[in-house]
Amino acid sequence: MKEQIPELTAEQRTRARIAYWVTFAALLLFAGGGGYLVALESRPARAARPIEGRIEHVDFIKHDDGHGNVSVRPIVIYSYSVGEVRYTTDRIGSLGHPLQARDSVEIRRRYQAGQPVTAYVVPLDPGSAFLVQDHDWKAYSFLFVPLAGALGLAAYWPASGLKG
């Protein structure tokens, strides 16, 4: 025998509608915050201008974590000039995260000492340059997960039994 779900009172239906739409609004608010994080993440790349540089040195530094685990971190040092000033840096990605051991093979293939390279410089901070636009996918998840939840709630509204 199928169990009957009791009918909601008018007051319960009103509270359920309010909770439904407050949750919807909160998800949209979180998605807006995620959109802000995505925009913040892409700001260095949008403001940067390409400039010619030269790879000065490529090295791989061994790092021991003290527990017997040894990893190799790639280091790429390059220089570029803005106006009459010469700058040298090792920043590869636009977000400034250090490179990981898994990047070593790509670094060996892509960069060699003496090679010309295009660096991207932020005009207001010429000492801040990078070679590659990074993406932090966590920022995108803060946008798309709540947005998907809000769209799911909006799509479920007609079947929710709370409409009218």
Candidate ranges 1-5, 33-37, 90-94, 156-160; pick with highest mean pLDDT: 33-37
pLDDT bucket at 39, cuts 50 / 70 / 90: confident
- Stronger pLDDT, 161 or 118, i.e. the higher one: 118
Distance (Å, whole) CA 129 – CA 123: 10
Evaluated on CA atoms 31, 37, 43, 45, the torsion sign reads negative
| DSSP three-state, residue 88 | strand
68-86 residue pLDDT tens: 887 777 888 999 999 899 9
Nearest to 57 by CA among 89, 104, 102, 22: 89
| DSSP three-state, residue 91 | coil
Distances from the Cα of 11 to the Cαs of 14, 18, 25, 153, in angstroms?
5, 11, 21, 21
The model's pTM: 0.61
Instruction: Tell me how crowded residue 3 is: count the other CB atoms within 10 A of its CB.
Output: 4
Q: Which residues, in sequence order, are CB contacts of 34 under 8 Å at separation 6+?
A: 139, 140, 141, 142, 143, 144, 145, 146, 147
Instruction: Please state at what angle helix 137-156 crosses helix 10-47, rounded to 10 degrees.
Output: 150
Distances from the Cα of 116 to the Cαs of 78, 80, 86, in angstroms?
9, 10, 15
Return the pLDDT at 28: 94
Return the pLDDT at 70: 79
The overall average pLDDT reported for the chain is: 84
Return the pLDDT at 37: 85
Distances from the Cα of 111 to the Cαs of 1, 119, 132, 163, in angstroms?
71, 13, 12, 61
Using the predicted structure, report yes or no on whether residue 104 has a pLDDT greater than 80. Answer: no
